[in-house]
């Protein structure tokens, strides 16, 4: 979504390029009170200091809708694997008072900058833990979270070790019975990554849908797809209706159409250890 940049006004965000633990970060000011966080050249968060409920990125709007359809509008327990500016956690803290959220961020300096400049609510509303996402996920007990958000990226793609059957199994283990696993990914034609992700997550969760721009689904361009997975049924019809009302309308693929989309793609597993 194109935005006009601020012109010469003093902003609430630091100027220039900052060095984090793992790369570079810039706050690209849209207005003095709103900015895009750009990590190593990739737009990773949009922060509006005056309206924490403003979700600029389409996939976050879709995550918010999926949570509302499946879980209602009340407080939730949410685990965010991948943090950046904590935009979704900020939005849920504001729109769902009483929620308890944990953001797991690998980059310690980025976590500090998010706290300093992005107006992230303090604990216990939103905790930020510096840790590797996969390792953190595996430590949680059963029924710990209502939502697990996987939004981990390296170099513009989901790391391979975060895309396996074993990750989905860990998410299923720590989710409440009616909870949601929300997995964000990016892909380009012929959507091999999206197809393999659908096959893999469907091997763990019995109820799965994919939210995607029709142009991406038809193989016309690169972009995001969001996989929504649960242990018990959620209202796919209501989700599809809500997604058609977004600023950028998207389609929901489920059931037989989603199985056809995955086709014969194999389930992704952790690599077997090599023999000594």
Geometric angle at alpha carbon 258, from 253 and 262, rounded to 5°: 135
Provide the CB-side half-sphere exposure for 106 (13 A, CA).
14
CA dist 155 and 135 (Å) reads 20
Distance, C-alpha 179 to centroid of its chain: 15
**The predicted structure's pLDDT at residue 275:** 41
**The predicted structure's pLDDT at residue 273:** 47
pTM to 2 decimals?
A: 0.93
Domain definitions of the chain by residue range: 52-262
Q: How many CB atoms within 10 Å of residue 189?
A: 11
* Helix axis angle, 192-202 to 255-262, nearest 10°: 120
Q: Are 111 and 128 in contact (CB under 8 A)?
A: yes
Is 192 in a helix, a strand, or coil? helix
Q: Are 19 and 109 in contact (CB under 8 A)?
A: yes
**C-alpha closest to that of 55 among 73, 34, 69:** 34
CA dist 95 and 66 (Å) reads 14
CATH of region 52-262, choose from 3.40.50.1110, 3.40.50.620, 3.40.50.150, 3.40.50.300:
3.40.50.150
CA dist 111 and 243 (Å) reads 31
CA dist 104 and 55 (Å) reads 19
**The predicted structure's pLDDT at residue 5:** 55
Mean pLDDT, contiguous 10-residue spans, the chain (276 residues): 53 90 91 93 93 96 97 97 95 98 95 94 95 96 97 89 97 97 96 97 98 94 96 97 94 98 96 50
Q: How many CB atoms within 10 Å of residue 173?
A: 15
Q: 273: Cβ–Cβ under 8 A, 6 or more apart, which residues? A: none
**C-alpha closest to that of 249 among 217, 201, 206, 202:** 217
DSSP 12-51: SS--SEEE-SSSEEEEEEEETTEEEEEETTEEEEEEETT-
């Amino acid at each position: 979504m194109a935005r006009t940049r601020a012109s010469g006004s003093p902003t609430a965000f630091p100027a220039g390029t900052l060095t984090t633990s793992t790369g570079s970060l810039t706050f690209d000011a849209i207005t003095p009170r709103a900015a895009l966080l750009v990590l190593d050249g990739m737009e990773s968060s949009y922060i509006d200091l005056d309206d924490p409920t403003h979700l600029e990125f389409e996939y976050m709007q879709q995550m918010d809708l999926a949570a509302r359809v499946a879980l209602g509008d009340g407080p939730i327990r949410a685990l965010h694997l991948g943090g950046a500016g904590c935009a979704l956690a900020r939005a849920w803290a504001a729109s769902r008072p009483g929620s308890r959220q944990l953001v797991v961020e690998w980059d310690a300096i980025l976590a500090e900058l998010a706290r300093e400049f992005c107006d992230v609510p303090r604990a216990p509303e939103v905790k930020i833990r510096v840790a590797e996402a996969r390792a953190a996920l595996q430590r949680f007990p059963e029924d710990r979270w209502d939502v697990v958000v996987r939004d981990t990226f390296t170099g513009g793609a989901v790391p391979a070790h975060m895309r396996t059957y074993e990750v989905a199994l860990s998410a299923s283990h720590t989710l409440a019975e009616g909870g949601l696993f929300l997995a964000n990914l990016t892909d380009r034609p012929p959507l091999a990554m999206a197809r393999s992700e659908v096959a893999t997550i469907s091997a763990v969760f019995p109820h799965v849908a994919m939210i995607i721009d029709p142009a991406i689904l038809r193989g016309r361009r690169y972009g995001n797809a969001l996989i929504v997975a649960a242990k018990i049924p959620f209202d796919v019809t209501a989700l599809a209706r809500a997604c058609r009302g977004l600023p950028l309308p998207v389609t929901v693929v489920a059931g037989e159409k989603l199985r056809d989309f995955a086709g014969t793609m194999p389930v992704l597993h952790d690599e077997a250890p090599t023999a000594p």
